[in-house]
Amino acid sequence: MRRWTALVLVLVLGGGALAADVTVDYLGHSCFTIQEAGGPIVMIDPYSSYVPYPALPKAADIVLITHGHVDHDPASFGEFDRVLGDPTHVRKLGSNGRCQEKVPPETWTITDAFETSVVEGNHVNARGGGQGYVCMYIFDVGGIRFAHLGDLGRTLSDKQVAALSDVDVLFLPVGKQFTLGTDEALTVIGQLPSLKVAIPMHFRVTGITPWPGIQPLSAFTSVAEQTYTVHTVDGSQIVLSPETLPTSTEIWLLEYER
């Protein structure tokens, strides 16, 4: 496993580029912000104070909610101060508990500067952990196609593979208790041959994660590095452009923002 700073990562993979277009910031658990320079701040799955990572509250313009659990949608539990500003919240999980997909997956226009597709995933894993369904979001920022799998509990169906087939950067859960475990997460990565970067999320951090049964990141990486190049980034941010993405699938580990 290699440890590089975010700047070194851009320099090495980008052939000397000193800057890139899109900043990804890992705020902890399953929460990220993605922003193209000058564009809206897109936040995915902010957590409530029940999951005491230190990065929130933080500002965003658009908030994507994969499902209405306390560690992914604090506003549904009465915490309205976790995201600053006046963001547009996007919840595509309907009152019936199912994802409001457009079939085939077409885009929902959220603002003039942002649109997204959604595809439903099963939150319940093969061990019976998790509950209900999630909406997995697929969207483009700065010429890079991202997907966030929420609390996906199963490997991908043919329909899901088709929807995710051209994704460049994937946020995927690896903690096992309520989501994909190590072998399943690696299977999902292998189901997407065009994938450039996989970023693990939803794993146990001692002293923060309330559920002791979730496995730590090391349980995933100790197996993943036998197959994939694994980079550990010093810090919570990476800066990307289409030109800085690797040519084959790699796994990048981000520290949570402190």
The model's pLDDT over 50-59, given as tens digits with 9 standing for 90+, comes to: 999 999 999 9
Sign of CA pseudo-dihedral 176, 126, 250, 51: negative
Q: Are 150 and 136 in contact (CB under 8 A)?
A: yes
pLDDT of residue 3: 58
State the CATH number of the domain containing residue 224.
3.60.15.10
Total count of domains within the chain: 1
Q: Is the pLDDT of residue 112 over 90?
A: yes
Give the pTM.
Answer: 0.92
- What does the alpha-carbon distance between residue 136 and residue 34 come to, in Å, rounded to a whole number? 16
Q: Is the pLDDT of residue 96 over 50?
A: yes
For residue 132, the 8-state DSSP code is S
pLDDT of residue 2: 57
Give a yes or no: residue 42 inside a domain: yes
The model's pLDDT over 146-164, given as tens digits with 9 standing for 90+, comes to: 999 999 999 999 999 999 9
Helix residue ranges per DSSP H, 55-195: 158-164, 182-190
Give a yes or no: residue 113 inside a domain: yes
In the predicted model, what is the mean pLDDT of the chain? 92
Give a yes or no: residue 226 inside a domain: yes
pLDDT band at 19 (very low <50, low <70, confident <90, very high): very low
Give a yes or no: residue 258 inside a domain: no
User: How would you class 106 by CB atoms within 10 Å of its CB: exposed for 0-12, middle for 13-18, buried for 19 or more?
Assistant: exposed
pLDDT of residue 93: 93
Q: Are 232 and 195 in contact (CB under 8 A)?
A: no
Could you give the C-alpha distances from 180 to 4, 155, 207, 232, 249, in angstroms and in order? 27, 8, 22, 21, 19
- What does the alpha-carbon distance between residue 139 and residue 124 come to, in Å, rounded to a whole number? 24
User: Which among 152, 163, 156 is positioned nearest to 118, based on CA atoms?
Assistant: 163
| Other residues' Cβ atoms within 10 Å of the Cβ of residue 228 | 17
Q: Is the pLDDT of residue 14 over 80?
A: no
User: Which among 43, 9, 51 is positioned nearest to 25, based on CA atoms?
Assistant: 43
Q: Is the pLDDT of residue 20 over 60?
A: no
Give a yes or no: residue 165 inside a domain: yes
- What does the alpha-carbon distance between residue 144 and residue 14 come to, in Å, rounded to a whole number? 14
Give a yes or no: residue 181 inside a domain: yes
Could you give the C-alpha distances from 95 to 100, 109, 118, 124, 182, in angstroms and in order? 10, 21, 16, 18, 31
User: How would you class 240 by CB atoms within 10 Å of its CB: exposed for 0-12, middle for 13-18, buried for 19 or more?
Assistant: buried
Give a yes or no: residue 26 inside a domain: yes
Domain span holding position 28: 2-253
pLDDT band at 124 (very low <50, low <70, confident <90, very high): confident
Q: Are 84 and 78 in contact (CB under 8 A)?
A: no
Q: Are 220 and 199 in contact (CB under 8 A)?
A: no
**Owner of token pair 């970023």:** 199
- What does the alpha-carbon distance between residue 203 and residue 199 come to, in Å, rounded to a whole number? 12
